[in-house]
Structure 1
Amino acid sequence: MNWSDLKILLVFAREGTLQKAAQKLGMDISTVSRRIRNLENDLGSKVVENVGGRLVFTTYGEQAVQTAEAMAAESNHLQRLIKGEESLLSGVLRVALLDALVFFHQDLLQSFSVQYPHITLELVSGTSRVHSLTRREADVAIRVSKQPDDTLVGMRALHIEYAIYAHQSVAERPPTLWADLPWIGWDPALNARKIDAWMEKHVPLEQIRFRVDSAIAQFTLVEAGCGACILPVVYADLNDQLVRLSEILDGFDTNIWLLTHRDLKRNGRVQAFFEHFYKGLEPLRNNGRKHLES
């Protein structure tokens, strides 16, 4: 049986005449009549009959209309469920990111929570360890990387460049050499090769007053006037108390990526998070373009 013929029978029942049914369906009367006859042939029984020049439903036809009504109700119910899923996203979304990204983008995390109050964000930010999306240690990763793993999918959300910064209190005494400044470096265990190599070349060991293993600790110490440091420009420039002491450092640039596993790329929670975060980073992307143009 052709189910579309049953739908035509339902429209005929609701409209009352072939002419009105044809207008509703955007068909001509002969096509509606032919489709009803096709349905009768498939069912092997009459569903309408002519009584006094007027088409009326047979007993079997009334049963067919009831079946069509039930099918239409189930179809509408299913569509409402699907639309409800789309408009009311819920559940848990586990996001792996650096603690500094939580600090600098707490506004985006909060606004996401307001927009999607039924989604619980589980933030994995207490360690610098790279969490595996393949092993489902997280659903989404906001990762700082030149180029992510080919097995992951997502988008480049922000380009990052680096320069040397210090608090105003330190910058008031401009150095003739980098060695004249106190410095904040990275814990050697983190293997920050480029920064370590630059500091080894320009900064005596005795001038490195602090070593840290998190970006938040680094920013906190720089803001407190504890020393100079190599920082991401897009974030350091947000602080009016910090002064840039160098040009952009060549070869230090990297990217922030929004990433997920291929199996989750169509997940509603993932797509909503990507869209929200990418849009929220637009002001920083624009600032970066302005800097490149200047």
Structure 2
Amino acid sequence: MDWDDLRIFLAVARAESLSGAGRRLGMDASTVGRRILRLEQAVGATLFAKTPQGYALTAEGSRLVAPAEAAETATAAAAEATRRETGISGQLRIGAPDGCANYLLPQVARGLCDAHPGLEVQIVALPRVVNLSKREADMAITVSPPDTGRLTVQRLADYHLHLAGHRDYLARHAPIRDLSDLRRHRMIGYIPDMIFDRELDYLSETGVETAAISSNSVAVQMQALRAGAGLGIVHDFALPFAPGLIPVLADRIALTRSFWLLRHADDRASRRLSVLAEALAQGLRAEIARLESVVGALPDRCT
């Protein structure tokens, strides 16, 4: 059995389509289909069933996943063992919620690429948890540890959030002296039924039940705040990127959350990924500390 065919098999199993696997592998869909047919002929079984939703594993295909993943791990370990120690190269794909992806990971990626010039860093910003079982990424950053899955979990760092509004909005609207005053103000937050992690339910901590403007994207919420559209909960590390935003009632509305790093359990033996994971963790902690120190100099707007 050809390992390269198994590699293509895993890509289809994870993408659940020939075209998705082809994009990941840099191959056209027809070639992927021919290689899957060749593998099915080699093993004497149908590995996928074509459905309206895509390519679903058959019972025989499901049984092949574990040995194929073991071959994948062994191949990666062999490549790693022969790689020169002068630097780490190749692709690293990191999945993260868009607040982290927008305001932290670009700077961290710069540090990784400076240290390893042959490295290619891909940042996947998604309004959901990245699926490592389908190999959507090599590692993922989340805002809460998972309850299930074959994953290694590492706590990265705490970060802080406060209520904030643009100075233009605050100048045009009623003073804010207490939490009860917030009911007279327009709030910006997440779309309630698209909050994919309970830790992102920030608005409930302000005492205001609904947002007048909402989005599943932190970046969109930030743009609305910069436009003077209302008040919203903001990551402290994002405030330096938004001149004009001022903390409001900072002593009464102060949230703390944590970032967690997830890796597939099979990757624990990979020295390459372990080195990159540690560098990512150190870079993220340093960047949060640097950006949050800037926020300490901002005035609290309570009137």
Instruction: Quickly say closer, same or farther: Cα 1:248–1:269, change in 2 above 3 A.
Output: farther
Which residue identity does 1:175 align to in structure 2? I
Residues 168-214 of structure 1: per-residue CA shift (max 9 Å, x gap): 11233433510222221211221375435346x436x5xx4311110
Map of 1:175 onto structure 2: 176
Q: How many residues align?
A: 206
| Separation in structure 1 between the aligned mates of residue 293 and residue 167 of structure 2, nearest angstrom | 26
Shift of 1:143: 1.4
The SS at the match of 1:86 is coil
Aligned equivalent of 1:234, options 230, 234, 237: 237
- 1:265 matched to 2:273? The reply is no
| Separation in structure 2 between the aligned mates of residue 242 and residue 258 of structure 1, nearest angstrom | 29
Residues 11-32 of structure 1: per-residue CA shift (max 9 Å, x gap): xxxxxxxxxxxxxxxxxxxxxx
Q: Are the equivalent residues in 1 in contact too, given 2:101–2:124 (CA < 8 A)?
A: no
Shift of 1:159: 0.5
Aligned equivalent of 2:281, options 258, 278, 290: 278
Which residue identity does 2:208 align to in structure 1? H
The SS at the match of 2:176 is coil
Instruction: Quickly say closer, same or farther: Cα 1:253–1:227, change in 2 above 3 A.
Output: same
Alignment of 1:156-175 (within 5 A): 156-172=155-171, 173=173, 174-175=175-176
| Separation in structure 1 between the aligned mates of residue 202 and residue 102 of structure 2, nearest angstrom | 22
- 1:202 matched to 2:203? The reply is no
Which residue identity does 2:94 align to in structure 1? V
Aligned equivalent of 2:190, options 174, 180, 186: 186
Instruction: Quickly say closer, same or farther: Cα 1:187–1:250, change in 2 above 3 A.
Output: same
Residues 135-193 of structure 1: per-residue CA shift (max 9 Å, x gap): 32321001122x34464224322202322111111233433510222221211221375
| Separation in structure 2 between the aligned mates of residue 239 and residue 97 of structure 1, nearest angstrom | 21
Q: Are the equivalent residues in 2 in contact too, given 1:159–1:285 (CA < 8 A)?
A: no
> 5+ residue gaps in structure 1?
1-80
The SS at the match of 2:275 is helix
| Separation in structure 1 between the aligned mates of residue 155 and residue 290 of structure 2, nearest angstrom | 14
| Separation in structure 2 between the aligned mates of residue 185 and residue 153 of structure 1, nearest angstrom | 31
Shift of 1:283: 4.8
- 1:122 matched to 2:122? The reply is yes
Alignment of 1:68-217 (within 5 A): 84-105=83-104, 106-125=106-125, 127-145=126-144, 147-149=145-147, 151-172=150-171, 173=173, 174-176=175-177, 177-191=181-195, 194-198=201-205, 201-202=207-208, 208-217=211-220
Residues 247-289 of structure 1: per-residue CA shift (max 9 Å, x gap): 3667943211222122212424422322222222325247769
Residues 63-100 of structure 1: per-residue CA shift (max 9 Å, x gap): xxxxxxxxxxxxxxxxxx95853323222222111233
Q: Are the equivalent residues in 2 in contact too, given 1:171–1:245 (CA < 8 A)?
A: no
Q: Are the equivalent residues in 2 in contact too, given 1:96–1:140 (CA < 8 A)?
A: yes
Q: Which shifted more, 152-161 or 279-288?
A: 279-288
Which residue identity does 2:107 align to in structure 1? D
Q: CA RMSD in A?
A: 3.2
